[in-house]
Structure 1
Amino acid sequence: MELEERVAELERRMAALEGAERPAPEVTDGTFWALEGLKAEIAGAGAAGEDGAVLFTGAVRLPTEERYEWQFGAFTERLLDEDWAEAADSFAALGHPVRLRLLREILGGRRTAAELADLAEIGTTGQIYHHLRQLTGAGWLHTTGRGRYEVPAARVVPLLVVLTAARP
């Protein structure tokens, strides 16, 4: 094949690829593509996956243009055998509307205590620091330097999963 033919063929193939945009899968369209993948993994795990498993995953782009891809799975037997009381502090930290608002604002780009203090209906500076300490102690936030906070990368998707699971 001559060089010109090869280039023309590549151009046709590129045009076909560019024109063949696949729609993003609807997460509520009734298909269970993630569940089917999990079942295949469980089947491959043999006896370890006999009682089932749970999986949560996400590909996220925040308003700050930061991107996170994350997944975690656990076998049901292990989850049922664990002491669930150990999760109480983490859930408790999320159990206040102001703390949830702070997390949302931090994910949205407001990262300093001063920026957060400027928000309406969020409380006094002392109250804000109290909430930030609660979130930091539970691992939902960490400090990145003088008065700057961020949600750790490994907690962005889990936070959004928890919020999704809490919806009525």
Structure 2
Amino acid sequence: MNDRDRLAALEGRVSELEAQLQAMTEPVPDVSVPDSEIFWALEGLRARVDEPGAVLLAGRVRLPDGRDAQWQEASVTDELLGGEWAESADMLSALGHPVRLRLLQRVLAGATTVPQLTETDGVGTSGQVYHHLRQLTSAGWLRSLGSGRYEVPVARVVPLLAVIMGARR
């Protein structure tokens, strides 16, 4: 390969790297939009809570089975930072297995029976599915409806989605 070809190849690679870097760069916020329009929920929280602040989780979800999940909860910062985090370990631990997350996702998508859930790729045998369902039910992420049917309680839908959303950050 001569110098001209090497230079052309190098320019091509640099161009590809620049394109990848551009794609990875987050868009610059639109400064023409006032913060109160972008952070409308945060502005409402600021108006209601003194320093050192609070955390607000809220959401509205229409589930495939027609149920509406509407939920919000706020906790002041001092309560969150000063509380006993270990009390949440079992609840969070139940979400710490990929099969359980897959099962919860399927239940939210409308699969309610053990046979339907067992058809899910990668969840294992019906015995393994029952094991994971017991863990999720014990932690409150699922509720048994009897006859091998399950649902995510409406009061748990938004918190579950908030955990998933937070894990993506």
- What TM bracket, shorter-length normalisation? 0.7 to 0.9
Q: Share of identical aligned residues, percent?
A: 57
The TM-score normalised by the length of structure 1 is 0.76
Letter in structure 2 aligned against 1:162: V
Gaps of 5+ in 2: 1-36
Aligned to 1:133: 134
User: Following TM superposition, by how much is the alpha carbon of 1:80 offset from its aligned partner in structure 2, in angstroms?
Assistant: 1.3
- The one-letter code matched in structure 2 to 1:133 is R
Are 1:36 and 2:43 counterparts? yes
Matched length: 134
User: Which deviations, in whole Å up to 9, do the C-alpha atoms of 1:116-141 show, x marking residues without a partner?
Assistant: 11222210111101100110111101
Counterparts of 1:19-98 in structure 2, within 5 Å, are: 31-42=38-49, 49-98=50-99
Q: What secondary structure is seen at the aligned counterpart in 1 of 2:56?
A: strand
SS at match of 1:140: coil
Deviation at 1:56, TM superposition (A): 0.5
Moved over 3 A (4+): none
The alignment partner of 2:52 has SS state of coil
1:112 shift after superposition: 0.9
Shift of 1:62: 2.1
| CA-based RMSD | 1.5
Residues 62-106 of structure 1, C-alpha deviation per residue, up to 9 Å, x if partnerless?
Answer: 233322111000111111111100111111110111100100100
* Alpha-carbon separation, structure 1, partners of 2:120 and 2:56: 36
1:102 is matched with: 103
User: 1:16 maps to what in 2?
Assistant: none
Q: TM-score, normalised on structure 2?
A: 0.75
